[in-house]
Amino acid sequence: MKKTLAIIISFIFCILFVPSISADPSIIIENYSLYPEIFMPGDSGILTITVKNAETTNTVQTTSTTGSTSTTKTDTVGAYIKKIWLVSATDGFYKIKTTKSYEYLGILAPLSSININFKIIAEENITEDLYFPSVHIDVDTYENVQFPIPVKVSNATVSLLLTDLPSRISKSGSTLVTLTAVNNRENAVDSVTIIPESNDGLKFTPNSVFVGTLQADASSEASFSIKPNDVGVFNISFNVQFKNGDNVHTEKISHSIQVVETLDVAPVLNSIPSKIEKGKSARVSLEVYNAKTEPITGVIVTPITYAIVTPSQYFIGSMDPDDVFSASFELNSGDLTYGNYTIGFKLSFKQDNEYYETPIIYSNFSVIPLKNIGSDGGLLVLFGSVIIIILVVLIFIFYIKKRRSTK
């Protein structure tokens, strides 16, 4: 009977004095983000996690009874976070790791959240793969939280393709070359810039081309003008620089190019007389071609000779790649004495705000006396006289034969 009474008293005591809890904190990782989205070996980045107290009940009520009096105490439910840290993932040799943990972050009220940033590092030479470093949260008096974060490491990069780069170029003027930057990654990259390496024998314009952001599997072209300073074989290199997150990476492509003394812009003579009678004129015709890969402007053909040439210059203006223009001049020998002479033609043009002149092409002609019109007339008279004599002889022979036949 005494034992039964003691149990009843203990039960009543528990009812009166033990707190009544209507809710417990529920700590979850509500969201996370990675910057960059996909890492390259050696990259560092930021993992941002959102920690939330998902409990929707805001209070805990504690009721105590003393005698005939009951007292109810209401407290706000909160979760005291003692520590948050990241456990590394590894390929057996290298890790996805962080160097920082957070301690004593305080109480997180119901439905409240807090953002936590970790700097994470994909060690150099880590194997490309999908890794799962784990976030651990130590919550005082409640169950701890573990949450794996998928982090992908990829060796894919941004590559350069030589879209239009000839193996031989002319020393005269400049040649346009084109490259294509291709993003082979599954995430976008930023600050993509194509930069030619300096070369003593070649001048590149511009010094670099800024592409900007390249989305996954996207590409973009960039063009440069190459102006040679000398002939020979040169090794040229282009670098593509880009950012994966805040990590700078560089890829390189090289190519051999030969600079030769050839004219890709030049005049070609079509017709020019070898002889001109004194005081007379003759027409000279030529064609101008642009075999370059880019336009040229201010194209002018200038004759060089002691003779009078009309016009003194032939202005063509702009020429697109593969354009051909015809030009003609009137060559007058009035001021020249008898003899042999030379006439030359040079071509001048502008490209990339620089002025160029082609080597002069030459041709020879002679100034000869005028033909004697009188002597020509004498020849005609003599020729006519011979014809008349022949006719007279033929008529006489015919007459004699006819006369004999009648006898």
**Are the CB atoms for 383 and 205 separated by under 8 Å?**
no
| Residue 240: closest CA among 196, 187, 177, 205 | 196
Residue 388 is predicted with a pLDDT of 82
Domain of 140 in residue numbering reads as 2-153
CATH number of the domain within which 137 lies: 2.60.40.3880
Do 289 and 248 lie in one domain? The reply is no
Residue 116 falls within a domain, yes or no?
A: yes
Residue 337 is predicted with a pLDDT of 87
| Residue 133: closest CA among 115, 153, 113 | 153
Spatial separation of the C-alpha atoms in residues 268 and 270, rounded to whole Å = 6
Do 96 and 166 lie in one domain? The reply is no
Q: Which of 225, 260, 295 is the last residue of a domain?
A: 260
Count Cα neighbours of 110 within 13 Å in the Cβ-side half-sphere: 13
**Are the CB atoms for 341 and 365 separated by under 8 Å?**
yes
Residue 174 falls within a domain, yes or no?
A: yes
Q: Which of 225, 241, 260 is the last residue of a domain?
A: 260
DSSP state of 197: P
Do 176 and 253 lie in one domain? The reply is yes
**Are the CB atoms for 339 and 369 separated by under 8 Å?**
no
| Residue 361: closest CA among 405, 292, 302 | 302
Residue 81 falls within a domain, yes or no?
A: yes
Residue 384 falls within a domain, yes or no?
A: no
Do 6 and 149 lie in one domain? The reply is yes
Domain total in the chain = 3
Do 174 and 97 lie in one domain? The reply is no
Residue 376 falls within a domain, yes or no?
A: no
DSSP state of 126: P
Beta bridge partners, 328, equal: 285
Do 276 and 254 lie in one domain? The reply is no
Do 12 and 57 lie in one domain? The reply is yes
Do 63 and 111 lie in one domain? The reply is yes
Do 19 and 149 lie in one domain? The reply is yes
**Are the CB atoms for 304 and 325 separated by under 8 Å?**
no
Residue 406 falls within a domain, yes or no?
A: no
Spatial separation of the C-alpha atoms in residues 208 and 204, rounded to whole Å = 9
Residue 403 falls within a domain, yes or no?
A: no
**Are the CB atoms for 333 and 284 separated by under 8 Å?**
no
Do 247 and 358 lie in one domain? The reply is no
Residue 383 falls within a domain, yes or no?
A: no
**Are the CB atoms for 291 and 326 separated by under 8 Å?**
no
Contacts of 165 (CB under 8 A, 6+ apart): 177, 178, 179, 255, 257
Spatial separation of the C-alpha atoms in residues 25 and 80, rounded to whole Å = 9
CATH number of the domain within which 326 lies: 2.60.40.10
Do 311 and 223 lie in one domain? The reply is no
**Are the CB atoms for 45 and 39 separated by under 8 Å?**
yes
Write out the chain's pLDDT in tens, 407 residues: 443 443 333 333 333 333 333 345 588 999 999 999 999 999 999 999 999 988 776 666 666 666 666 766 666 667 889 999 999 999 999 999 998 899 988 888 888 899 999 999 999 999 999 999 999 999 876 678 899 999 999 999 999 999 988 888 877 777 889 999 999 999 999 999 999 998 888 999 999 999 999 999 999 999 998 988 888 999 999 999 999 999 999 999 999 998 887 777 888 888 888 888 888 889 999 999 888 878 889 999 999 888 889 999 999 999 998 899 999 999 998 888 888 988 989 888 888 777 788 888 888 888 888 876 544 555 565 677 778 888 877 776 766 776 666 65
Q: Which of 217, 238, 260 is the last residue of a domain?
A: 260
Do 202 and 342 lie in one domain? The reply is no
Residue 359 is predicted with a pLDDT of 80
